[in-house]
Structure 1
Amino acid sequence: MLEPKEAQAARVLGGLNRPPLNLLISTRNSDMPKRFSTARGREFGEGMRAAITNSGLNAREVADLLSWQEAKVSDVLTGKGGVSRLEVALLLGLCRAKADERDHLLELFPERDLSGWWQLHGKCAPVRPRTALTHLAAAETLISWHTHAVPVLLRTAEYERAVLTASATVSVDELDERLRVLQEMQKLLSNGLDCTFYIHELALDLQIGTPEEHIGQLQHLVLMANWKKIRILVVPAAAGAHAGIAGPFTQLKFPKYEPLVWTETENSSLFVETKEAVGGYADVIRALDEVSLDEDESRDLIVRRCVRLQEAGDADGAVQRDSDEPFPSL
């Protein structure tokens, strides 16, 4: 006699062959249109899923131990509501979540549906920017602009070490760990992420590190510009005032939810999510695109800077611009 479909499904979900809970949820939503979601809500959901996974329990076991319906556990993870802060605390206690993670998730819970997230970090940015890493991993498109330096995701280890060493707030003891996190972030560029980086020409001239490290950074930019899904566009100094003067930012777009913009200061991060504000940054991107060099012109400009530094062999690494050298045409 054939087993009823309902019983068969229940047996599979409750047994050893049950897929991970996050796989079930992602499969369920794979064909859904973009839905309302916030950075806070996504981080809360990911944290709760991780807590259950790390406990070694599955959703049915958690539900049984808490005397809940299994659907209620799913509602907690997908942010549908229907649970209290106390119930979330009970779930985290059951999963034996670490104290700092428990406190973080309980703090997020009441505000998980709020758009926009200003994160205050204290003296300096955290070694591991959790929210940024999570959203970089989930993004399908990245557009980044930096006013005076090479964007973080395009920096060599030597360049970043020099930047961190010059910081007034970053501890020297954290340098190696911060560099490891940078490498982790940069690996996401090879996961099919479609990237456009706008860099001001003056960032190419600014020597960060030794002259050799400066040249190495320019060579790295040329190498990255040859990647299939990476575009590097230079905003020439001849453009003068431009729409990006207000400061650096990164726009991220996702396959399942609305885009956001990520900006950083010395000791805080801002994740902009409201439609009007994100649209304003989209206007800035369009304006930057109008004044920047195209991909070939940008690559040629970087190569010329690199060759000139190599030929000069100047001990102080200073970059001298030939007075009669024109900028590439816009």
Structure 2
Amino acid sequence: MPKRYSTVRGREFGAGMRTAIAHSGMTARQIAAVMDWQEAKVSDMLTGRGGVTLMEVAMFLSVCRIPGAMRDHLLGLFPLLDVQGLWQLHGEHSPIWSRTAHAHVDVAKTLVSWDSHAIPLLLRTPEHMRAILAASPLVPANELDDRLRAFEELLQLRGSVHNCAFYLRESALRSQVGSLEEHLSQLHRIKHLAGEAGITIKVVPQAVGAPPGMAGPFTLLKFKEAAYAPMVWTETENSSLFNEDPSSVKGIETVVRGLDAVSLNPKESTRLITLLLAEEE
């Protein structure tokens, strides 16, 4: 029986199955006909709502003729589709393109992002991001342009989110990343975004030495689909965590309220950015 909800693991599985279908050169309807399935059964599988057995998944993948590593990954995910949350270990360095992050930002209704020491990811300009990537010993030089393209695609997806709130520290605004020209461009970009409908930017002033959220950056996502539970996305140098546990989400919501209590309001934040620009220009 298909579930009325889906987990991030289930959606990761569904995305992989869609890739398998594309690899086959057939449509979902054609594969359903080969399997003697109703199309609704394929749809439930692709949305991570279940309705299929492990044997049926293996048969479906055999029809798609996908590479063995991809097959093993999907078959390994399948028994754990009901487990909330997904911790992705990337090895030495993160992938160029995060299918999971892109897919969930794309369908988010609201987004709240905080970074304890830097400009939040989805506020960065491509030039700012290039400087950060170039400084990392874990980013191969020959991947820099591809990673920037993936980042710019993520920024485009963020543009479709109805309501975004960003919290950042004054120290992050003052820290020059890249050239002075790139630094000023980043400040101008944040000031411009602060004036856009659906975007709220609040700055934690320098005087707040230890604000809530010192443990590190996070992005809290809530979704248009009722079947998608709220989720907290966090990144490290070489791992990603997508956490749907209700208690964990509630904890992050408490951190957000704490940040809100110590931050400048949006007008004060914009005024501060204007003053910083005047100091630098």
TM exceeding 0.5 = yes
SS state at 2:207 partner: helix
Could you list the per-position Cα deviations for residues 210-239 of structure 1 after superposition, in whole angstroms to 9, with x for gaps in the alignment?
112111111111111121111111011112
With the length of structure 2 as denominator, give the TM-score of the two structures.
0.91
After superposition, where does 1:169-208 map in structure 2 within 5 Å?
A: 169-208=138-177
Deviation at 1:98, TM superposition (A): 4.4
User: Quick check: 294-303 or 57-66, which moved more?
Assistant: 57-66
Deviation at 1:71, TM superposition (A): 4.8
- Tell me which residue corresponds to 1:320: none
Larger Rg: 1
- Tell me which residue corresponds to 1:85: 54
Whether 1:122 aligns to 2:91 is yes
SS state at 1:237 partner: coil
Equivalent pairs, count: 278
- Which of 241, 246, 255 in structure 2 is aligned with 1:270? 241
Contact persistence 1:35–1:258 (CA under 8 A) = no
Aligned partner of 1:142: which letter? Answer: L
- Which of 86, 107, 114 in structure 2 is aligned with 1:145? 114
CA separation of 1:35 and 1:206: change in aligned 2, threshold 3 A: farther
- Tell me which residue corresponds to 2:63: 94
Deviation at 1:105, TM superposition (A): 1.9
Could you list the per-position Cα deviations for residues 62-101 of structure 1 after superposition, in whole angstroms to 9, with x for gaps in the alignment?
2332244555434433445453323212212212334444
Deviation at 1:59, TM superposition (A): 4.4
Could you list the per-position Cα deviations for residues 97-149 of structure 1 after superposition, in whole angstroms to 9, with x for gaps in the alignment?
34444333222111111101111001111110111111000101000000111
Matches of 1:65 and 1:206 in 2, distance apart? 59
Q: Which has the higher contact order (CA 8 A, sep 6+)?
A: 2
- Tell me which residue corresponds to 2:197: 228
Matches of 1:165 and 1:79 in 2, distance apart? 37
- Tell me which residue corresponds to 1:45: 14
Contact persistence 1:89–1:106 (CA under 8 A) = yes
Deviation at 1:56, TM superposition (A): 4.8
SS state at 2:240 partner: strand
Matches of 1:93 and 1:50 in 2, distance apart? 14
- Tell me which residue corresponds to 1:5: none
Aligned partner of 1:37: which letter? Answer: S
Aligned partner of 1:298: which letter? Answer: S
- Tell me which residue corresponds to 1:64: 33
Matches of 2:132 and 2:29 in 1, distance apart? 49
Whether 1:241 aligns to 2:241 is no
Instruction: Flag structure 1 segments of 5+ consecutive residues without an equivalent.
Output: 1-33, 311-330
CA separation of 1:88 and 1:266: change in aligned 2, threshold 3 A: same
Matches of 1:197 and 1:308 in 2, distance apart? 23
Matches of 2:151 and 2:29 in 1, distance apart? 38
Matches of 1:96 and 1:228 in 2, distance apart? 47
Instruction: Flag structure 2 segments of 5+ consecutive residues without an equivalent.
Output: none
Overall identity of the aligned pairs, in %: 52
With the length of structure 1 as denominator, give the TM-score of the two structures.
0.78
- RMSD after superposition: 2.1
